[in-house]
């Protein structure tokens, strides 16, 4: 029986250097050394563009050794979108160019242009065969679950399967689910018995493709794979088995194929489950329990569709929409640096969430937004296009948003969502972007109701098993935001509502993030202004927002028409990436410095927010002395190492009580500027 091994090594754009160093030391290097020592093991490997560029800078010897294995015919490289985008959510032309560009890079490294592709997160949509044909890809890796959903069964799962779109044929290698779940968590002897059973049943070829990080990065796996020599012992067993023959993926793809099969839009089973939220997930879990009770196969439980993440997380959809909107500008500029920043902004990891932290990790979100801002800034420089002011339905909600990009700031304004701002970025004079308003609104996750207590038994587990909690009391910290925690949200509440209700986004608080009763806009040489009237029942506001085209300044004025004595004001949310670092703090009216994680209640006219790490000072000035409430925006989510609390920003609620007529005027100026070393 032929056996084919294929590994996928990837690190997200923006990941910390120490994390990548640890992954290299614990996984990538010992894995390569193990492969070098087993002369009869052939393997395919996919290295994402982000990781490849990091390795080229930090460990060029790794690249040389990988290239040597390829030239010896013992290893081959797989291509992909350069920085691991989900292929089907960006434009066809762009994806094709990315794959071709990355294939050129890999050909220089290995001496052979790859014709096989590692499918990012195994996210499949039926149009992929014709897209990949344009990029000169003839075969791709999926999971066997994809093939089963298309009707493949029996021995067809132990050979390549053919699919097509618009007459363009693509061969698929389906990674065996049983092996994926066993390797490296089951004893070597058990895995070999499993392979022998496949052989004795008549299988001609079995394909194994999975994340390389399972062999050293996942909790407990470095000790298991290298100190306890699991991987070395497994390869030795394969080499000594006269009924097994290790082959390269391209050779596996050329063997006799089955099909054609037509795969519905899908990914691996867990991904399909992670895309489901709310009542959808409840119905799915009930169906799964029913199927399990009747002994029916897990293969019938498809779950959801990857694009659902764009619906569940508005921050994800906005980023994708901004990327799509920026493409024509980047192309027009013909600037290679801008293009590569643009491609890096498409890295999938910050768009979704499952076991890994994903969109909940601020440094990953910041990284892809910075790449997009750099792409636009360089492109606008190249075409002398500042300022950029355009209107488009970025988030596909049926209303146009406004994008403003100047040499000093980038804004995404929502005229039909209460004239709020969800993208607030300061541009340093050298073009280095600092995303400040890119907070994440917190929502209910399925796993919140299953959160365990603290503690771990230290054993090696697959990351799909139950997670441990990193601190006590996390369940009590879960907060679900009823409105988006962005900049310049107008909130109204009874004077009896206390600050704790605001912190918890309580239902007795009224927000105005909704379509305008009336609206208008005006652009001049120096500014763009927006006006809108918004209503919720008997409550009403009139609002005006002015975005400066010369300076990093925004002016907002709201007139509130509410009940006499009501508390009315504006919420501004900023994300300085961490709440506990002493180099990031705020103060009111030049008073005491407070860390971003420090909540409080103040009375003042001026708020200064200092980000000494990214060298930006944000000043919020009110037209009158106001009450100021401050709260920390911490999410409670899971990662591969357990349930954790993650800082998503801080919210400042600036308010006063309406007078006897039920009116109140609030004017706020926000200025971002370079923070010089002191």
- Specify whether 41 is located in the same domain as 130: yes
- Residue 37, pLDDT score: 97
How confident is the model over 125-130, as a mean pLDDT? 98
State residue 134's pLDDT score.
98
**pLDDT score of 298:** 58
Query: Could you tell me the CA-to-CA distances from 191 to 157, 235, 238, 299, 612 in Å, in that order?
Result: 18, 11, 10, 21, 53
Is 578 a domain residue? yes
Q: Structural domain of residue 279, as residue ranges? A: 270-306
Residues 395 and 298 both lie in one domain: no
Question: Pick from 306, 321, 355: which residue ends a domain?
Answer: 306
Instruction: Tell whether 247 and 290 lie within a shared domain.
Output: no
Residue 460 clears pLDDT 70, i.e. is over it: no
- One domain for residues 228 and 93: yes
Cα 469 to Cα 88, 142, 446, 580, 634: the distances in Å are 35, 33, 15, 20, 15
Return left, alpha or beta for 439; rule: phi > 0 is left, psi -120 to 50 is alpha, else beta: beta
pTM: 0.94
What's the mean pLDDT in 503-521?
A: 96
Residue 294 and residue 227 share a domain: no
Tell whether the model's pLDDT for residue 458 goes beyond 80: no
Residues 145 and 130 in one domain: yes
Q: Is the pLDDT of residue 108 over 50?
A: yes
Whole-angstrom distance, CA of residue 425 vs CA of residue 411: 7
pLDDT band at 546 (very low <50, low <70, confident <90, very high): very high
Position with higher pLDDT, 464 vs 395: 395
Is pLDDT of 472 > 80? yes
3-class state of residue 74 by DSSP? coil
Q: Is 448 left (phi over 0), alpha (psi -120 to 50) or beta?
A: alpha
Decide: 8 and 121 in contact? Cβ < 8 Å.
no
pLDDT at 291: 81
User: Are 134 and 281 contained in the same domain?
Assistant: no
Q: Are residues 209 and 293 in the same domain?
A: no
pLDDT of 162 over the 80 cut: yes
**Where a domain ends, among 306, 332, 364?**
306
What local confidence, expressed as pLDDT, does residue 639 receive?
86
Cβ atoms of 272 and 148 within 8 Å: the answer is: no
Residue 495 has pLDDT above 80, yes or no: yes
CA 153-157-160 angle, to 5 degrees, is: 130
Render 21-72 in DSSP notation, one character per residue.
HHHIIIIIHHHHHHHHH-TT--EEEEE-HHHHHHHHHH-HHHHHHHHHHHHT
CATH number at residue 245: 3.20.110.20
Is pLDDT at 455 greater than 80 in this prediction?
A: no
* The pLDDT of residue 370: 98
Q: Is the pLDDT of residue 464 over 80?
A: no
Give the mean pLDDT of 216-242: 97
Q: How many domains does the chain have?
A: 3
Give the span between the Cα atoms of 146 and 127, in whole angstroms.
15
Q: Give the pLDDT confidence of 44-81 residue by residue, as tens digits.
A: 999 999 999 999 999 999 999 999 999 999 999 999 99
Per DSSP bridges, beta strands 553-561 and 567-574 are unpaired
Considering the domain boundaries, does residue 647 fall inside one? yes
Per-residue pLDDT of 557-575, as tens digits, reads: 999 999 999 999 999 999 9
pLDDT single digits (tens) 399-454: 999 999 999 999 999 999 999 999 999 999 988 999 999 999 999 998 998 886 53
CA distance 678 to 662: 45
Q: What is the CATH number of the domain that holds 474?
A: 2.70.98.10
Domain for residue 320, yes or no? no
Tell me, yes or no, whether 625 and 532 share the same domain.
yes
Within a domain: residue 57? yes
Residue-wise burial string across 396-433, b where 16 or more C-beta atoms lie within 10 A, e elsewhere: eeebebbbbbbebbbbbbbbbbbbbbbbbbbbeeeeeb
Average pLDDT, the chain: 94
User: Same domain for 122 and 77?
Assistant: yes
Domain membership of residue 575 (yes or no) is yes
CA 331, 334, 339, 342 dihedral sign is: negative
Which pLDDT score, from 0 to 100, does residue 678 have? 56
Reported as a pLDDT band with limits 50, 70 and 90, residue 466 is: low
Q: How far apart are CA 221 and CA 612, in angstroms?
A: 38
pLDDT value of residue 297: 65
Q: Summarize the confidence of residues 335-341 as an average pLDDT.
A: 98
Residue 110 and residue 41 share a domain: yes
CA 514 to CA 535: how far, in whole Å?
8
Helix axes 336-344, 314-333, angle to 10 degrees: 170
Residues 108 and 257 grouped into a single domain: yes
∠298-300-302 over CA atoms, to 5°?
95
- Residue appearing with tokens 């208008």: 520
Q: What angle do CA 95, 100, 106 make, to 5 degrees?
A: 125
Q: Judge whether 30 lies within some domain.
A: yes
In a domain, residue 490? The reply is yes
Of 218, 241, 267, the residue at which a domain comes to its end is 267
Q: Is residue 405 part of a domain?
A: yes
Give the pLDDT band of residue 102 (cuts 50, 70, 90).
Answer: very high
Q: Which two tokens stand for residue 611?
A: 């980000």
pLDDT value of residue 431? 85
- Cα 493 from Cα 499, distance rounded (Å): 10
């Amino acid at each position: 029986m032929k056996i084919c091994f294929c590994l996928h090594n990837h690190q997200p754009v923006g990941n910390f250097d120490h994390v990548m160093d640890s992954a290299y030391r614990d996984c990538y290097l010992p894995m390569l050394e193990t492969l070098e020592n087993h002369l009869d093991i052939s393997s395919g490997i996919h290295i994402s563009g982000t990781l490849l560029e990091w390795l080229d800078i930090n460990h060029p010897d790794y690249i040389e050794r990988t290239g040597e294995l390829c030239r010896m015919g013992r290893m081959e490289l797989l291509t992909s979108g350069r920085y691991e985008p989900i292929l089907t959510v960006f434009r066809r032309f762009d994806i094709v160019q990315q794959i071709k560009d990355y294939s050129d890079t890999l050909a220089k490294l290995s001496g052979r242009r790859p014709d096989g592709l590692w499918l990012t997160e195994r996210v499949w949509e039926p149009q992929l065969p014709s897209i990949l044909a344009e990029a000169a890809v003839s075969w791709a890796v999926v999971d066997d679950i994809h093939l089963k959903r298309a009707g493949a069964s029996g021995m067809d799962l132990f050979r390549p399967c053919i699919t097509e779109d618009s007459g363009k044929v693509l061969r698929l290698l389906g990674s065996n689910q049983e092996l994926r779940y066993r390797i490296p968590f089951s004893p070597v002897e058990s895995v070999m018995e499993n392979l022998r059973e496949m052989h004795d049943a008549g299988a001609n070829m079995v394909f194994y493709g999975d994340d390389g990080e399972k062999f050293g990065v996942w909790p407990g796996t470095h000790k298991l794979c290298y100190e306890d020599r699991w991987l070395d012992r497994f390869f030795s067993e394969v080499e000594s088995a006269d009924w097994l023959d290790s082959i390269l993926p391209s050779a596996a793809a050329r063997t006799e194929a089955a099909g054609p099969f037509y795969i519905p839009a899908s990914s691996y089973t867990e991904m399909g489950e992670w895309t489901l939220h709310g009542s959808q997930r409840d119905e799915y879990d009930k169906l799964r329990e029913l199927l399990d009770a009747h002994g029916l196969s897990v293969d019938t439980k498809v779950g959801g569709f990857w694009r659902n993440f764009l619906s569940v997380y508005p921050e994800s959809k906005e980023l994708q929409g901004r990327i799509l909107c920026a493409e024509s500008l980047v192309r027009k500029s013909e600037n290679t640096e801008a293009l590569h920043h643009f491609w890096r902004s498409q890295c999938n990891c910050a768009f979704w969430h499952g076991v890994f932290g994903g969109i909940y990790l601020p440094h990953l979100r910041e990284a892809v937004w910075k790449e997009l801002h750099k792409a636009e800034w360089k492109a606008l420089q190249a075409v002398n296009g500042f300022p950029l002011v355009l209107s488009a339905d970025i988030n596909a909600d049926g209303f146009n948003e406004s994008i403003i990009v100047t040499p000093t700031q980038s804004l995404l304004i929502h005229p039909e969502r209460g004239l709020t701002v969800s993208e607030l970025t300061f541009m340093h004079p050298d073009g280095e972007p600092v995303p400040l308003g890119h907070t994440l609104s917190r929502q209910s996750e399925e796993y919140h109701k299953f959160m365990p207590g603290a503690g771990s038994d230290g054993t090696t587990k697959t990351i799909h098993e139950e997670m441990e909690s990193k601190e006590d009391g996390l369940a009590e910290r879960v907060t679900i935001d009823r409105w988006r925690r962005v900049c310049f949200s107008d909130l109204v509440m009874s004077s009896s509502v206390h600050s704790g209700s605001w912190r918890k986004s309580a239902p007795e608080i009224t927000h105005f993030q909704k379509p305008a009763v009336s609206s208008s806009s005006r652009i001049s040489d120096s500014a763009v202004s927006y006006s809108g009237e918004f209503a919720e029942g008997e409550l009403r506001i009139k609002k005006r927002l002015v975005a400066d085209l010369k300076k990093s300044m925004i002016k907002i004025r709201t007139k509130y028409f509410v009940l006499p004595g009501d508390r009315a004001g504006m919420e501004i949310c900023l994300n300085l990436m961490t709440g506990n670092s002493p180099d990031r703090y705020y103060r009111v009216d030049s008073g005491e410095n407070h860390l971003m994680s420090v909540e409080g209640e103040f009375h003042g006219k001026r708020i200064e927010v200092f980000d000494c790490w990214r060298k930006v000072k944000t000043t919020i000035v009110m037209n009158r002395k106001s009450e100021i409430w401050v709260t920390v925006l911490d999410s409670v989510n899971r990662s591969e190492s357990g349930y954790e609390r993650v800082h998503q920003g801080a919210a400042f609620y600036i308010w006063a009580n309406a007078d006897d007529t039920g009116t109140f005027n609030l004017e706020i100026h926000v200025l971002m500027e370079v923070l010089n070393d002191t």
